[in-house]
Every structure is written in C-alpha cells, then in structure tokens.
Amino acid sequence: MKIIVGGAGSVGRSIIGYLSRGNNDIVVVDTDNERLNEISREFDVQPVVGSISHPEIQEKIGANKADILIAATDNDEVNMVACEVGYSLFNIPKRIARIDSEDFLSPAWNMLFNEKSLPVDLVISPDSDIAEAILRIIDIPGSQEVFPLADEQLYLVSFKCRDNCQLFNFSIAEIYENFKDIKFLILQILRDGQNFYPKSDESVRCGDDIYLLAAKEDLFDLMHAFGVDQKINERIVIFGGNTIAYNIAKTFDDNDNILSCKIITNDADAAQKLAEHLDKAAVIQGEMMSDIILKDAGIDNADMTIAVTMQDKDNLLASLLAKHNHICSTVSLVNSRAYDTLIDNIGDNIIIDRSAVTISKILQDIRRANLRNAYSMGRGFGEIWELKISEDSPLAGKKVSELALPERCRIAALLRPDETTFAPLNETIAEKDVLIVFVTPSGIKKTEQIFGY
C-alpha cells in the first residue's frame, strides 16, 4: 500500500512509526529538512522536502498512485488544502486530515467535510483523542487502557495484577467458575513483555497486565477481585499547558468528583489562555520541576498526576517526582519509544502512547476490512477490531471455528440484540452479528482477507 504522510512532527511521526511495521510504501513530506532527516534515519521511508498542499509536490511523489493521503501537519488549512489537491488533481482514494481548531470541529459545520465541499474522508484530532483516552482511564480507576466497543455495550480494559490479588494461583478455568454469574473474557495477558491468550490451566501471576473484556457494570467487581485499587481520583495535577491539558481540565468543570485540578506550565502565554477559559482548574505558571511550584500545586496531597507536555523526558520525570511523593496513579504521554528503559523503570506509571491513540482513529480506514471501530493495544502487540456482518457477507452461515483465523488471532465476542457470547467458537455467524476480533500484527493481512472487501 502506498501511503503519503504530510507532516513529520510528533503526530506524523507517531503515524509513520506504526505504519512502517507493515508492508507499506511510505512517503513523508515536510518543509523542515531536519525533521525529515531524523525520521528517515529511524524508519524506512522516502523523505521529500516541501509543502504537502502544493500540487507540484504531490505530482513529484506520485500521488496519482497513492492509496491513502494522511495530512498531519500542525496547520489545519494546509491539511484541508492537501486533501482537496489529492482528490481533485490526483484522485487519491482515501484522504485523512488532522484538524485541531475547534472552529472547524464545531458540530455546526459538520457538513463541511464531504466530496462537494472539502473532500476529507476522516478527520483526526490527536490532542482531543489523547485527552479522551486519559479521561476514560480516570473514569475507570485502576485501569491502564480503556477501549469502548459496540456502542459501549462492552469495554476492553487493561490493568496490572497487584500483590493483593485474590486470584493468585487460580487457573483461568477456576476464575471463570468463581464468576460464573458474570459474562467476561480474559483476552490477553502481558507478562515480561510477552503477550499471550491464557489457556484454561494457566495461572495469574503478580505483575501481569490483564486485558479483560466485559460489560462496564461488571468491570469493577472483576477488577476488585484482581486486587486493583479503585480509589476515585479527586485531586489532580496536570503537567503541560497545551490543548490536551485544556480538554482534560475543561471536562472537570462539570465533574463533581473532581475536587481540585491544578495545571503547571512554564509557558506564560499558555497559562494566561488556560486561566481565561477554565472555570475550575487553577493554572500555575513556572518551572514544572521546581519544589516551590510543586508545593503550590499541592503535589503532596494529589491523587493523580497527568504529564502531557510535548517532551517525553519531562513527562517521565514528572511521573518519577510524583512517585517520589507517594502518588499511586501517574500518567505520562509518550511521543516516541526512545525512552523505553526509563519507561520500564517507573513501575506502575500509566503510559499513553501517542502513536497507539492516533493510529486507532485511522485503523478502520487503512485496514482492508469493513470495520466499525478499531484500536491499537498496548505497545503495538495487537489490534482489536469491531465489525458487523453485512447482509451479503460470505461469512454468514459459517461457524466461528471455520474461519481459519491466523495463529493467536481470535473472535473475542459475538453480539446480537438479545445476547453476547464470549469466545464463541461454536456459534454460527449470522447477518447483522457484531464481532469483536483480536488481531496480532503478523495476522493482519490474512485476517483482512477473511473479513475483507
């Protein structure tokens, strides 16, 4: 697949980092030659200096043969024009634009993006998506990743198994037996950097990351049994004065559970703008690592810290400081995997991987299957797909066990209006069924063929 990515900043880089794992021909366009040099040293891509919105640049890189254009510069207008050029002059089949400005994202202008106006097939807003991912974690205390599925009928949640877990030395079969009145599935276990689907005789160990699929109302009882601390986070400190911090703090204005929200930023202009537009949050301008600033922010009494600056090192150091102050719940935004060693040394710090969040929004458009929803999980060890069986699907009438999915890929759940079946190997697929599918990176191509169009 030939993919053109416009923009080699943090957003473009996160997209490229994920797409480069597949068998894709990737061209990266940016006006900053230094950024392009950095990306070309790290990934197998073709770097081109120029503006992605210029027709001569798109012609130069062979846009007429491209399958997808992803315009991800930090300029909304450039991204929109790039999609217009790609559609009108080069007939690029799929066009995705990064749009950050609320002026363009307002529901009042939801008819703006179509082939008659601006030919954008999909709008992505990475900063808003990252804020949303963090808010989902806050909503389910103790979680590390939260993926709503099937119109929120199901949630896939990951959490770490603590040393106070009631289920140590219980086999997976015994766990299901103990909770036989609740429908759920332990979809994956991540242990020592390796993920696997647990067999019935496998036991849970301390430190395991559990990926559990269940209805939201059942999650809390299940997580409690695994020893997950579900303390509500009432006092929150946010490091960074950007759009992500604003979107999180703005949501807190209407959340009665949040007693206190403090934002620390060293950018005076950003601090002023935040203070003008936020009602509940207190904005503190100063050096984030200063003892005086941290004391003013009430770091000693905080329940959770969220570090969302554009610098990975600052985010991870902020979490280290929070851990030093005995804060149990810390969140760090990571824009690249360059600090993997430091990441692993911060214990239970929750990592928000920009590439995973950003790519999740475009997976349904780049996968050759008719997906309703999709997420990239963990550190890219798999994807979770949601799809609906169409009326003319050749899969209707087949048993799940007959699909010949690749090794380690599986149907996690089958949903019908009156019933949800987990691990439905013996179920016969019917029209309008909704399937939740776990797919490994190596199994993507074959799974696409099974569910493809």
Write the Ramachandran bin of 135: left for phi over 0, alpha for psi from -120 to 50, otherwise beta: alpha
DSSP track, 4-26: EEE--SHHHHHHHHHHTTSS-EE
- Cα-based angle 102, 108, 114 (whole degrees, multiple of 5): 90
Question: How far is residue 273's CA from residue 252's CA, in Å, rounded to a whole number?
Answer: 17
Full set of structural domains in the chain with CATH: 2-124 (3.40.50.720), 142-225 (3.30.70.1450), 235-356 (3.40.50.720), 389-451 (3.30.70.1450)
Contacts of 279 (CB under 8 A, 6+ apart): 253
Contacts of 388 (CB under 8 A, 6+ apart): 370, 372, 432, 433, 434, 435
CA atoms within 13 A on the CB side of 269: 1
Judge whether 362 and 423 are in contact, CB under 8 Å.
Answer: no
Neighbours of 196 (CB within 10 A): 12
pTM, 2 dp? 0.90
Residue type, 369: A
Write the Ramachandran bin of 175: left for phi over 0, alpha for psi from -120 to 50, otherwise beta: alpha
Two structure tokens written together for 71: 């315009």
Tell me the pLDDT of the chain (453 aa) as tens digits: 899 999 999 899 889 988 887 778 999 999 999 999 999 999 999 999 999 999 999 999 999 999 999 999 999 999 999 999 999 999 999 999 999 887 887 777 777 887 778 899 999 999 999 999 999 999 999 999 999 999 999 999 999 988 888 888 899 999 999 999 999 999 999 998 899 999 999 999 988 999 999 999 999 999 988 988 778 889 999 999 999 999 999 999 888 889 999 999 999 999 999 999 999 999 999 998 899 999 999 998 999 999 999 899 999 999 988 888 888 789 999 987 665 555 555 667 899 988 889 999 899 888 878 899 999 997 778 999 999 999 889 999 999 999 999 999 999 999 999 899 999 999 999 999 999 999 999 999 899 999 985
Residue type, 309: T
Q: Residue 247: phi, psi to the nearest 5?
A: -65, -40
